[in-house]
Amino acid sequence: MTAEQISEYFGTKNSTVSNKARQIKDMFDMWHFNPEFSTQKMTADNPFNNMVMVDGFIVPLDTLPADLQEMVKNARSRGEDIEFQTEQN
């Protein structure tokens, strides 16, 4: 079902529905893969679970040494996030 069909069914304009949807999204601070609004399956299947920031770049978690992977997993299990900076010479 398209947004246009939904708007037509309720007798509203597409722009009105879109604006209200944005207000709701902003009010609840919703974003894709937000764990607060995700099912357990969505959380488990989240593609960002296997990514981490290194020097501002998103890299696969499995490219990091095992000790750093464990650090990321521990931080995430506490509801925290983590990113790494390599040393600059």
Provide the domain count of the chain. 1
Q: Please check whether residue 53 lies inside any domain of the structure.
A: yes
Q: Please check whether residue 81 lies inside any domain of the structure.
A: yes
* Domain enclosing residue 55, as ranges: 47-89
Output the tens digit of pLDDT for each of the chain's 89 residues.
Answer: 888 898 899 999 989 888 998 999 999 988 887 878 888 898 888 888 899 999 999 999 999 999 999 999 999 888 888 888 887 75
Q: Please check whether residue 42 lies inside any domain of the structure.
A: no
pLDDT value of position 60: 95
Q: Please check whether residue 27 lies inside any domain of the structure.
A: no
One-letter identity of residue 88? Q
Buried b (16+ CB within 10 A) or exposed e, 35-67: eeeeeeeeeeeeeeeeebeeeeeeeeeeebeee
Q: Please check whether residue 14 lies inside any domain of the structure.
A: no
pTM for the whole thing? 0.54
Q: Please check whether residue 2 lies inside any domain of the structure.
A: no
Report the run of H or E that residue 59 belongs to, with start and end.
Answer: strand 57-60
Q: Please check whether residue 32 lies inside any domain of the structure.
A: no
Q: Please check whether residue 22 lies inside any domain of the structure.
A: no
